[in-house]
Amino acid sequence: MASEAELIIDRRRLKRRLTFWRVVSVLLFIGGLLALAAAFGGFDLSKQSDHIARVKISGLITGDQKTLDLLEEIAKADHVKGLILRIDSPGGTTAGSEAIYEAVRKIAKDKPVAAVMDTVAASGGYITAIAADHIVARGNTITGSIGVIFQWAEVSKLLETIGVHMQEIKSGDLKAEPSPFKPLSEKAREVSNQMVQDSFAWFTGLVAERRKLPIDKVKVLSDGRVYTGRQAVAEKLIDELGGEDKAVDWIKKEKKLSDDIAVTDWKAESEDDGLLGLGLKITSGALKALGLPDLAEQAKLQKLDGLLSVWHPSLQ
């Protein structure tokens, strides 16, 4: 029979084991909660201390709500001491680019913002870049393409060939104009051109204001051409050549931040395009498989409505 001393020792040993497993259980529970929160974007330890936020703007710019919400969150985040925009985009809709521009300028009221151009930052991508207060690009980055385009497919001859005739009843001459089902009238051309020129004047005025350039100089630069990073520096469309390190150094200097401050990625939640997006991907893939990559790119652009500020060499 065990002595009283042995029983006491056993109880203490059991108590220590129980305490150990309680601690382990609590730590595992806390770890699980943190993992779940991180998985759903609700908690990120790297964002709970002072840092420079990095947001990537890539592909076609549409001013989607998830990106706008992300920029709004950054504007309100006390631990964000600066923002880097990593831009790799040929542009997108003019209105979408305008929305991103306004959201970035809201951030810039309280935090330094720098843009880093990667392979392409043209048209709407350039609108996004000039929202920043400092722009960095590689020497061979493609930028510029300052302009607005309004385009549509006109298929009236094709319909006539296959024996299809479109009928319409409309309230006014310019309702649903321009139309893909008939040649463009002079009146429709005139009002469409007025709309494009109005948006173009807004774009060039923005460039003149943000880059501190005379409007006459901007008009010369805004014939739709693209520039390399080296050419853009010479024309004062950007500030310097280099990579993200130059942008980080500029933000640190502006905000007097410590040299070891971290740069942390902020990402918008992924957005599922649903059946419409799947259909466009299938169409694009089929056109590429048939050796028609230009039409594949055009298929992607058909998802964008309205005025476009977008650059692609095969579509110009």
Sketch the domain layout of the chain as residue ranges: 46-315
> 137: which strand partners?
117, 241
CA distance 217 to 239: 17
Give Cα 220 to chain centroid, integer Å: 27
5 DSSP β-pair partners: none
Question: Are the beta carbons of 151 and 128 closer than 8 angstroms?
Answer: no
User: What pLDDT shows up at residue 165?
Assistant: 85
Select from 180, 176, 188, 189 the least CA-distant residue to 155.
Answer: 180
> Which among 13, 101, 27, 14 is positioned nearest to 63, based on CA atoms?
101
Say if residues 92 and 67 touch (Cβ distance below 8 Å).
Answer: no
Q: The domain 46-315 is classified under which CATH number: 3.40.50.720, 3.90.550.10, 3.90.226.10, 3.40.50.2300?
A: 3.90.226.10
Dist. CA 105–CA 100, nearest whole Å:
9
CB 63 within 8 A of CB 32: no
Helix (H, G, I), strand (E, B) or coil at 12: helix
Catalytic residue numbers read 123, 175
Cis peptide before 178 (omega within 30 of 0): yes
| Residue-level pLDDT at 14 | 64
Quote the CA–CA distance of 223 and 196 in Å, as a whole number: 14
The CA distance from 147 to 274, in Å, is 31
Q: Is 54 helix (H, G, I), strand (E, B) or coil?
A: strand
How does DSSP assign 197-265, residue by residue? Answer: HHHHHHHHHHHHHHHT--HHHHHHH-SS-EEEHHHHHHTTSSSEE--HHHHHHHHHHHHT--TT-EEEE
Buried b (16+ CB within 10 A) or exposed e, 121-131: bbbbbbbbbbb
**Class of residue 263 by CB neighbours under 10 A (exposed 0-12, middle 13-18, buried 19+):** middle
pLDDT, tens digit only, all 316 positions of the chain: 556 665 566 666 666 666 666 766 766 766 666 555 555 555 556 688 999 999 999 999 999 999 999 999 999 999 999 999 999 999 999 999 999 999 999 999 999 999 999 999 999 999 999 999 999 999 999 999 999 999 888 888 888 899 988 888 989 988 988 888 899 999 999 999 999 999 999 999 999 999 999 999 999 999 999 999 999 999 999 999 999 999 999 999 999 999 999 999 999 876 444 444 444 454 555 545 555 555 455 555 555 667 888 876 654 4
pLDDT at 166: 85
The pTM is what? 0.77
pLDDT in tens, 97-136: 999 999 999 999 999 999 999 999 999 999 999 999 999 9
Model pLDDT for residues 243-253, shown as the tens digit of each residue = 999 999 999 99
The confidence score (pLDDT) of residue 287 equals 47
The rounded distance, in Å, linking the Cα atoms of 283 and 148 is: 26
Closest to 149 (Cα-Cα) out of 85, 181, 197, 190 = 197
Q: 295-299: which pairs have CB atoms within 8 A and are 24 or more residues apart?
A: none
Closest to 127 in 3D by CA, of 43, 63, 49, 42? 63
Residue (of 116, 128, 114) closest to 251 by Cα position: 114
